[in-house]
Structure 1
């Protein structure tokens, strides 16, 4: 069977640099090892079905882990798709029909289906169809399964079957180090002092910070200048 990645229109665009390599997890390194391991085993003949539930509040990096899982799956030649419930909750659950042919499927913001019985039933039925050897299913939500207020008892039960990780939210120090790491990966020198300055003066959202880093990277190349606090102030009009 052809294992080339399916070219599907995703509700989200996978960030180029949100990979396992760029993930700064601190205490969450175990979940990275788990996800890498189960994805590497997908191509193994007869490998069992793998379900992973990631739980964490905003800024915990769980969405990054979903993106990274899709990137690795694609690199392995596996078909994969990432759905974000905040983008599709208003659509018909029928959009899940046929996705059981994928090798790896990730769903973010699963907590949003709580109380929406149509989506709860759709996710339950999809789980049962997708539960086959060699498949990987990864859900991410803000809360643990028994705290979601899921109305369908059978779905709540299914959500407890897999491996669950509670993802620790990133501290400001974690974010600063993560930003320095992102910069280094693209050949850009960013000091911890500068990273902390960005955190105190601008957004603490990692995606917003990476967008700012992109702007600083471009400006530093154009102006042939190192990134310093005065340079940041001038470039960002602070």
Structure 2
């Protein structure tokens, strides 16, 4: 059996991309389902399809699934098609040796015959008890305009969740919650200030939070709007 390729694949996972940090809540249907899927992994093949537009938290759920699986001693990989698509579908070779495979943004390969065929073949190789596959896309399988009907069919086999995009209130709440997990106090006012002055992309906002965390520790200062303005040159 071929060994999984390692080029351009994530080596570490963000420490705070956990189920408990998910903006939808640890008790949400999607989190509960993913936890249960990992518990039932040795009984049947587990497949979950997550879809949603924009900042819906899909990628967060993939990170959290891998972290939770690793805590159970399962081997995992998170494959971002956005990052590896140019390497070609050979990046899927050998991944069936792992227990849990998470694939982000499968919609990016819709209409690409070689990628669609490779995903279909991987699905068939991976489809056995002891394996868990979670994929994300922006739309439901029948809306992806896939050229391979059999792949569309496979994507409907498991449990599908449509996840709504985060509102500004959700993002502000998520920033405050994530800051608290780091031992950092971020007021609602400061969170909303960041949303009005910066990109609303959640990943970019979390990168800014990381920068503010380090700056706050170095300066021994609380996060205030003036401090944020100075630190970020706003």
TM-score for both structures, normalised by structure 1: 0.91
Deviation at 1:232, TM superposition (A): 1.1
Q: Distance in 1 between matches of 2:202 and 2:175?
A: 8
Q: Distance in 2 between matches of 1:87 and 1:220?
A: 32
Q: Distance in 1 between matches of 2:199 and 2:88?
A: 34
Partner of residue 3, structure 1? none
Give the ranges of 4+ consecutive aligned residues of structure 1 lying more than 4 Å apart after TM superposition.
6-10
Stretch deviating more after TM superposition (139-148 or 81-90):
81-90
Deviations 1:179-204 (A, max 9, x none): 00000001111111110000001111
8 A contact 1:10–1:81 mirrored in 2:
no
> Given the superposition, is the C-alpha separation of residues 144 and 27 from structure 1 closer, same or farther in structure 2, using an over 3 Å criterion?
farther
Deviation at 1:214, TM superposition (A): 1.6
Deviations 1:170-228 (A, max 9, x none): 00000000000000001111111110000001111112111111221222222222111
Segments of structure 2 that go 5 or more residues without pairing to the other structure are none
Stretch deviating more after TM superposition (188-197 or 85-94):
85-94
Deviation at 1:27, TM superposition (A): 11
> Given the superposition, is the C-alpha separation of residues 90 and 224 from structure 1 closer, same or farther in structure 2, using an over 3 Å criterion?
closer
Corresponding position: 1:203 with 2:199: yes
Stretch deviating more after TM superposition (25-34 or 225-234):
25-34
Segments of structure 1 that go 5 or more residues without pairing to the other structure are 1-5
Stretch deviating more after TM superposition (222-231 or 115-124):
222-231
Calculate the aligned-residue CA RMSD, in Å. Answer: 1.9
Aligned residues: 230
Deviations 1:121-165 (A, max 9, x none): 111111111010121000100110000001111111111111000
8 A contact 2:53–2:165 mirrored in 1:
yes
Mapping 1:181-220, distance limit 5 Å: 181-220=177-216
